[in-house]
Amino acid sequence: MTRYASVIVDVPAKQTDRVFDYEIPAKWSGFIQPGMRVNVPFGPRQIQGFVVEVKDNTTVQKTRPITSLIDIQPILTKELMLLADWLRDHTLCFTISAYQAMLPAALKAKYEKWLIVREMEQVPTELQLFFSSTDRIKFEELSGSTHFKTIKHLIEEDVLEVYYEVKDKVSTKTKRVIRLQAAETALIEAKGKIPARAVAQHKLLDYFIETKNEKTDKKVILEELKIGTSAIHALIKLGILDEIEEEIYRDPYEKRHFEQSQPLPLTQQQQEAITPILGSIEQNRHEAFVMFGVTGSGKTEIYMQAVDAVLQEGKEAIVLVPEIALTPQMVNRFKARFGSDVAVMHSGLGMGEKYDEWRKIHRKEVKVVVGARSAIFAPFENIGIIIIDEEHETSYKQEDTPRYHARDIALERGKYHKCPVVLGSATPTLETFARASKGVYKLLTMDKRMSEQGMPSVEIIDMREELRDGNRSMFSRSLLENLQIRLERGEQSVLFLNKRGYSSFVMCRDCGYVVECPHCDISLTYHRSNNQLKCHYCGYEEPVRSTCPSCESEHFRFFGTGTQKVEEELTKLLPQARVIRMDVDTTSKKGSHERLLQQFGDRKADILLGTQMIAKGLDFPYVTLVGVLTADTMLNIPDFRSSEKTFQLLTQVSGRAGRHELAGEVVVQTYSPEHYSVELAGTHNYLDFYHKEMQVRKLHQYPPFYYLALVTVTHQELTKVVTVTEKITQFLNMQLSKEAVILGPVASPIARIKDRYRYQCIVKYKKEPNLLDALKKVVEKYQSQMDQEKLAIHIDLNPYMLM
């Protein structure tokens, strides 16, 4: 009987966002499964597609057969395919885009498929012919075969192993390995028979007798025993050894040694926080927890013990951390506790490395993944806990289609696997804390630090006053004095420069002229390394001018404080201080981020100076001073979350000080000391901040009181953009209830990028059952213009960037 496959084809468009039925050629019947990719004819072309269902009949009159297989095994689980449908419906993306977001980029590259024999004795006769002279064959060599059902069975039994060799730059690495094939008695017997002059062969036999190794790297043998390959070949001929190619993972942490760490006895506070989580693990119950714990209260230890409990149950764990490359200390702690059970996934890895880590998860060789946002799609099938550390971090929101938030995905997966989801933060987002206050999430509070010292004391310095008193330096007198004290005592300091929203632009001091990008409505940023002005949105560059193009004044210079400039001033003021600077320039090389932190940890420097990248997760015992050079730069960004972000950042940074025996102090320099986000961060008062900010949000009708949807329209012609956005706004007005607030059309805060004009419409709403449908209709209506006239309409539900 002919069977059919429903396939989602790899054409991200409205018309193709549905299944197409294809005939399964008889030889692949029983072999093709949902979750595999195949090549199929589509019109005159051959394209890729994902099999989503295999069935006995179809309503389609004439089906065409599947052309060839891309995968030998499913690469998407049933759960991930359901999740893709959820993503499509909730972020308004195409199903195919959701699938692609779940897979490592390497799987889109070219690769060869191999089948490797693991247990030759168990290969049935009908297949032995294929493997008669080798332990591996290319999958294509089987294309004439009729034994696909058997092959599927053998793969499931681990007799055959599927192995993808990724082409392009990211090939999987292999090494030659020599394996022992005979028992010890046979080795001793061989020693008696082989003539004594075959010294190398004797060495080799002795080696395997003494070490009792089952296998060893060929390279190691050749080097250690100082023998040639002919001795190995001689013993292979005798059937004593054999030689195989074994895959090595590009483990980015392979050269590093991790001291095994043991679970610490928990404090009362930790015990109270972990108990409900353990209960939920034990009873297979989905629950969301907010672990609201001040910095240094021992959250990470709880994460690790909860993960341990999950592993005891034979289940798997996903731990998300914000851009993990930036918090190597976190990775180290998980590696030290769980060793090779951990896969690590972050954007600092190469495409091949990412693929290797993904493969370990896919092949169930690891039980824990610690990773950045996309690790939420780890193809585990038996998840026992999902943890999101620093839940408030904006990097958990993906800014491209599919525009998802990792927290929402975690909750969906948690429901499916009936397991707890833990959202940890010292400064939870207002959305999350509001849900915890309402009892939707369970609140676990940890308000005491592990160290005796408690929270560091914070001094807030009004920089306007410094200026009034004649101090023009970027260091207040108090900060400088405190730095000096640390130098004398041999303690360490962290200096934090908040650069977000405060780039180094060039401005005329006389007429106020700012150099902008000719293609985007945004100022150019000064790059000292090549003395150029650069646009961060389109890459446009131009050389720095010495006079103002508008008034020809010579008071035309770069404005804003870069880390380099701070470093220069610092070395002038404190010439004896050893400074490590960490910013995009000093950390662009792979591994340099970790190396610099290592140096600082080894106390080879007195001061660590850096941007956002040093705000999180660092834990150094000798850091007793944290200085924030400019606390309020983020307050001036046109974003309703700017106060929240300022509070979060200041709290995070302050948390770096005095985490161990030595007491910590924080000096915060600001031009708006009276702003509640600065003041309340200074007293570590999250709850007051929460209540105050909730009032502001309520007044201005922002989340968590209202949901937001952002529609952005872009096109090369301004009139086009305005008319389309206006029509969309009118349409939404008709479709939605009176309670919905529809703002627009207005120009986006960045009104032009890459010569394309940008307009937007924002919907604020509480309950609009029609909204998703209405937005879908908008996209449908403009589809042809989007295809033909390069009109673009982006829809972002719960946006984090309103630019």
| Interface contacts to ligand ADP, rule CB under 6 A | 264-267, 270, 293, 295-301, 450, 619
Measured from the CB atom, the residue of 496 and 556 that comes closer to ligand ADP is 496
745 prior amide bond cis, ω within 30 = yes
Please identify which residue in the block is written with the tokens 């320099």. Answer: 669
Q: Taking the complex as a whole, how short is the minimal distance between the CB of residue 451 and ligand ADP, in angstroms?
A: 7
> Would you say 246 or 510 has its CB closer to Zn ion?
510
Smallest separation, CB 639 to Zn ion (Å): 21
Q: How far is the CB of 413 from ligand ADP (least distance, A)?
A: 23
Q: How far is the CB of 718 from Zn ion (least distance, A)?
A: 17
Q: Which does 296 bind (CB under 5 to 8 A by kind): Zn ion, ligand ADP, none?
A: ligand ADP
Q: Which does 450 bind (CB under 5 to 8 A by kind): Zn ion, ligand ADP, none?
A: ligand ADP
Closer to ligand ADP by CB, 142 or 344: give it.
344
Dist CA 324 CA 752 (whole Å): 32
Contact partner at residue 519 from Zn ion, ligand ADP, none, CB < 5 to 8 Å by partner kind: Zn ion
505 binds, among ligand ADP, Zn ion, none (CB under 5 to 8 A by kind): none
**Which residue, 296 or 745, has its beta carbon nearer to ligand ADP?**
296
Nearer to ligand ADP, 268 or 588 (CB): 268
Cβ density class 414-431: b for 16+ within 10 Å, e for less? bebbebbbbbbbbbbbbb
Q: Which is nearer to ligand ADP, 165 or 619 (CB)?
A: 619
Closest approach of Cβ 619 to ligand ADP, in Å?
6
The one of Zn ion, ligand ADP, none whose footprint includes residue 587, by CB under 5 to 8 A per kind, is none
721 vs 797, beta carbon nearer Zn ion:
721
Pick the closer one to ligand ADP by CB: 429 or 633: 429
Identify which of residues 482 and 525 has a Cβ nearer to Zn ion in the complex: 525
Two tokens, residue 437: 């206050």
Kindly give, in sequence order, each residue whose CB lies less than 8 Å from that of residue 363, ignoring residues fewer than 6 positions away: none
Nearer to ligand ADP, 273 or 361 (CB): 273
Q: Tokens representing 762? A: 């924002």
The residues pairing with 670 across neighbouring beta strands, listed in sequence order, are 462
| CA dist., res. 342 & res. 790, Å (int) | 44
Smaller CB distance to Zn ion: residue 17 or 521?
521
Amino acid identity, position 714? T
Q: Supply the Cα-derived Rg of the chain in whole angstroms.
A: 30
Query: For residue 554, with 0-12 CB atoms within 10 Å meaning exposed, 13-18 middle and 19 or more buried, which class applies?
Result: exposed
Residue 35 contact, options Zn ion, ligand ADP, none, Cβ 5-8 Å cut-off depending on partner type: none
Written as one string, the DSSP assignment of 520-574 is: SSSB-EEETTTTEEE-TTT--EEEPPSS-TTT--S-EEE-S--HHHHHHHHHHH-
Which one of ligand ADP, Zn ion, none is in contact with 403 (Cβ closer than 5 to 8 A by kind)? none
The torsion region of residue 35 among left (phi > 0), alpha (psi -120 to 50) and beta comes to: left
Q: Please report how close the Cβ of residue 384 comes to ligand ADP at its closest, in angstroms.
A: 20
> Nearest approach, Cβ of 511 to Zn ion (angstroms)?
3
What x-and-dash track marks residues 106-145 binding Zn ion by CB under 5 A?
----------------------------------------
Whole-angstrom distance, CA of residue 422 vs CA of residue 288:
6
Cβ neighbours, 10 Å, residue 26: 13
Least gap, CB of 390 to ligand ADP (angstroms): 9
**Least Å from the CB of residue 655 to ligand ADP:** 7
Residue 624 CB, shortest distance to ligand ADP, in Å, is 15
What is the residue-wise DSSP string for 424-489?
EESS--HHHHHHHHTTSSEEEEE-S-SSTT-SPEEEEEEHHHHHHTT--SSS-HHHHHHHHHHHHH
What DSSP line would sit under 22-43, residue for residue? EEEPGGGTTT--TT-EEEEEET
Q: How far is the CB of 139 from ligand ADP (least distance, A)?
A: 46
Among ligand ADP, Zn ion, none, partner that 548 touches (CB below 5 to 8 angstroms by kind): Zn ion
464-523 residues in contact with Zn ion (CB under 5 A) are 508, 510-511, 513, 517, 519-520
Mapped onto helix, strand or coil, the DSSP state of residue 123 is: coil
Identify the helix (H) or strand (E) that includes residue 669: strand 665-670
Contacted by 301, from Zn ion, ligand ADP, none: CB < 5 to 8 Å by type:
ligand ADP
Q: Identify residues 527-566 at the interface with Zn ion (CB under 5 A).
A: 535, 537-538, 540, 548, 550-551, 553
The item of Zn ion, ligand ADP, none sharing an interface with residue 746, based on CB under 5 to 8 Å by kind, is none
Q: Which does 297 bind (CB under 5 to 8 A by kind): Zn ion, ligand ADP, none?
A: ligand ADP
Instruction: Identify what 144 binds: ligand ADP, Zn ion, none; CB under 5 to 8 Å per kind.
Output: none
Q: Which amino acid is at 101?
A: A
Do you know the residue count of the chain?
A: 803
Q: How many residues in the shown chain lie near Zn ion by CB under 5 A?
A: 15
Q: Which is nearer to ligand ADP, 35 or 293 (CB)?
A: 293
- Pairing type for strands 383-388 and 316-320 reads parallel
Q: From the list Zn ion, ligand ADP, none, which binds 524 (C-beta under 5 to 8 Å, kind-based)?
A: none
DSSP states of 272-335 as a string? HHHHHHHHHHHTT---EEEEEE-TTSSHHHHHHHHHHHHHHTT-EEEEE-TTGGG-HHHHHHHH
CB of 520 to Zn ion, least distance (A): 3
Tell me whether residue 265 or residue 638 sits nearer to ligand ADP (CB atom): 265
Q: State in Å, rounded, how far the first CA of the chain is from the last one.
A: 56
What span, in angstroms and rounded, lies between the C-alpha atoms of 464 and 669?
10
Do residues 779 and 771 touch, judged by C-beta distance below 8 A?
A: no
Please state the closest distance from residue 330 (CB atom) to ligand ADP, in A.
9
Residue 603 per-residue DSSP state: T
C-alpha pair distances (Å), 154 with each of 27, 31, 197, 328, 376: 16, 11, 45, 40, 30
Q: Site residues (CB under 5 A) for Zn ion?
A: 508, 510-511, 513, 517, 519-520, 535, 537-538, 540, 548, 550-551, 553
